[in-house]
Every structure is written in structure tokens, then in C-alpha cells.
Amino acid sequence: MEVVVVDYKGGNVQSVLFALERLGVAATLTADPALLRRADRVLFPGEGEASSAMQALRASGLVEVLPTLAQPFLGICLGMQLLGQRSAEGGAGGTPLLGLLPFAVEQFVPTPGFKVPHMGWNTLHNPQGPLFEGLSAEAHVYFVHSYAAPVGAYTIAEARHPTAFSAAVQHGNFYGVQFHVEKSGPAGTRILQNFLNLKC
């Protein structure tokens, strides 16, 4: 199986590569469209800020490439958010995103007792589909983010801080998780293995 990790200088790449190595997978870090198109699985990690990430994707030509991919694709943290239509992050008017899923990313509203950024372990609610096969009904995973996608028809798992948001999303072959699978212990490892095992 050929597994690639998208290289757009988007952060947390090494930890994702190490997590794959622990599963016996030697992934390739690349921005080469040919390698991305022929891969069996594509992972799209990200940390940082939406407008800078989109600028890097445009500069590398990946804005045109990523939406055309047909194999299982997993966006992680900011990589999940970038699958949406628009983010409130990035100044007046926000930032246009890749437009692969029909959500707009919004900033958490400060609420007494709930810090922003949302950082640490939280519970998954209502996990659905093959990505969560073998997990307990309320698995714990690790989040670090200040912006989130609302719950919608695309949501395949929720979390709360304090209101519900999309912890995982799916549209066709495009999956996204708001949490860091590579930092989420046994639950994250199982989710990552489930992604590698997805039927095309």
C-alpha cells in the first residue's frame, strides 16, 4: 500500500509520519501531484492558521489537485477544517477554503468554564461508520483548536465544548477529524488503522 502525507509546510507532519511508522507504514511526504494521485491513501495534517495554510496550498498548486483525488483522504485538525467552504479565521471576511464539504468554520464563543483554545482530551459522541470500527461508544481523543465546524449531515462524530461541534466529517472519499489521531493514544491508533483499512 502506498501512503502519502501532503507536504504544504502545515505542521505536525513528523508526528503523523511516526504514528504511521508505528503501524508498519513508511509514508511518503510529498506535494507532487503525480504521487498524490497514484497513492492508495492520502493524509492531510495541519496546524496553525487557515489563511496561511490556504496561501501555502495555492503556492504549491495543491488547491487544484486535492479536490480531484479519488482515494481515501483524511484531513487532520486544520486539515479537516480546510475541507470546508470558509473559515472565520483570517481577518475581515474570513478565508475561502477548499470547498469539499458544506460547512463554515467558526471560532468558539468564550463560555465560563470552557477555555479557548479547546485543548486536551475530550469524548467522542455518536461515532458512525468504518473510521470508528472497534471503538467504544464514547472514546477519548486529543484536541487543540480554537475554531470548529458545526454539526451537520456530513458529521460522523461529535464532541462538546460546551456545545456540540463536528469532531469528524465525511463526504464520499474525503474524511476529516478535528482531533489529533497521532496524539490520541490507542483510540487514535485504531482510527488511523481503520482509515488505512478502508475499502475503496
Catalytic residues: 77, 180, 182
CB 192 within 8 A of CB 151: no
Burial of 47 (0-12, 13-18, 19+ CB in 10 A): middle
Provide the edge-to-edge strand list for the sheet that holds 86-87.
95-96, 86-87, 104-107, 147-148
Q: 48: closest CA among 134, 146, 163, 120?
A: 146
> Which among 52, 61, 42 has a CA at the least distance from the CA of 9?
52
Query: For the CA atoms of 40, 137, 109, 116, what is the dihedral angle to 10 degrees?
Result: -80
Residue 67, classed as helix, strand or coil, is helix
Q: Write the DSSP symbol of residue 111.
A: B
Q: Is residue 188 a contact partner of residue 196, using CB atoms and an 8 Å limit?
A: no
